[in-house]
Amino acid sequence: MLTETLIYLFVFIFGLCIGSFLNCVVFRLEQKEKLSGRSKCPHCKATLLWKDLFPVFSFLLLLGKCRYCSKKISIQYPVVEIATGLMFLVVFWVFGFGIGIHGFINFVLLLYVLSVLIIVFVYDFKYYLIPDKVLLPAIVITLLYRISSLSLSINYIVASAVAAGFFLAIFLISSGRWMGFGDVKLAVLMGLLLGFPNVLVALFLAFFFGAIIGVMTMIYKKKSLKSEMPFAPFLITGTFVALLWGTQLAGWYSNLFLN
């Protein structure tokens, strides 16, 4: 029992550390900086010390302010770190390390793709843009992994083509006004990750969540239907839910309407 608890604690702390790195990736992508090099305060550009870089804890100890210029640190940093830690923990709880080397590689792939999706979520939420520098390598790596599992590859590749084709049709019909091409590429990754029927569950949930948030935004912020709203965060939320419980949700839906 103690060993199992320690493993879960390790996975959560590992997720916190990865979340800290993902925050760095988001910042440096937007600034068009290399990922190598010491971290700096985005305000005063002071080089951060090791004691400033502990995920969540440094934010709390510094009371959410830079040690050097006293300007506020964005709440994004601890939120992303905690969210990544919790997501890693849930993925481990549901899938574990897998069985054998193939199962372990699948688990590592899940964590990698999940990390990419977190970057895309935050970046699109903040800047209304999906960064190809992280999305395209994830598509290639996931595709190669699916191809290496020949007995399973067709399902995922077809799911990818269907999901991407759906968004491509929306993109072409609206001339990019309703949906950006980045969402088309994101749909490719969704299909490769989820396969059928889970990708359909993810798409349904994305539009469902999007509709709810869209209506709430119009009510409380008085925005119109023409107001721009990033859609990738909804796609990624739907993907995460479908990854964990897509089969159960699809089964429940089938029983509800077919029985």
- Dump pLDDT digits (tens) for 186-213: 999 999 999 888 999 999 999 888 888 8
Q: What is the pLDDT of residue 55?
A: 84
Q: What is the pLDDT of residue 44?
A: 77
**d(C-alpha 27, C-alpha 32), whole Å:** 8
The answer, yes or no, to whether residue 138 has pLDDT greater than 80, is yes
Q: What is the pLDDT of residue 3?
A: 78
Where residue 103 falls among pLDDT bands split at 50, 70, 90? Answer: confident
Residues 223-237 have a mean pLDDT of 75
The burial of 145, by beta-carbon neighbours within 10 Å (0-12 exposed, 13-18 middle, 19 or more buried), is given as buried
**d(C-alpha 95, C-alpha 255), whole Å:** 25
Question: Of 132, 137, 206, 119, which is closest to residue 166 (Cα–Cα)?
Answer: 206
The answer, yes or no, to whether residue 127 has pLDDT greater than 80, is yes
Domain definitions of the chain by residue range: 1-96, 101-259
Residues 70-90 have a mean pLDDT of 91
Where residue 120 falls among pLDDT bands split at 50, 70, 90? Answer: very high
**d(C-alpha 229, C-alpha 238), whole Å:** 16
Q: Are 155 and 195 in contact (CB under 8 A)?
A: yes
Q: C-alpha dihedral over 248, 100, 136, 198, to 10 degrees?
A: -10
Does the pTM of the predicted model rise above 0.75? yes
How far is CA 197 from each of CA 5, 50, 106, 164, 165, rounded to the nearest angstrom? 33, 45, 19, 15, 16
Q: What is the pLDDT of residue 84?
A: 95
Provide the token pair at 182.
């980045």
Residues 133-144 have a mean pLDDT of 94
Where residue 46 falls among pLDDT bands split at 50, 70, 90? Answer: confident
Where residue 255 falls among pLDDT bands split at 50, 70, 90? Answer: low
The answer, yes or no, to whether residue 139 has pLDDT greater than 80, is yes
Residue 137: asked if its preceding bond is cis (omega within 30°), the reply is: no
- Identify the helix (H) or strand (E) that includes residue 162: helix 150-173
Q: How large a percentage of the chain has pLDDT more than 90?
A: 38
Residues 159-173 have a mean pLDDT of 91
The answer, yes or no, to whether residue 115 has pLDDT greater than 70, is yes
Count CB-CB contacts under 10 A for residue 206. 24
Q: What is the pLDDT of residue 247?
A: 74
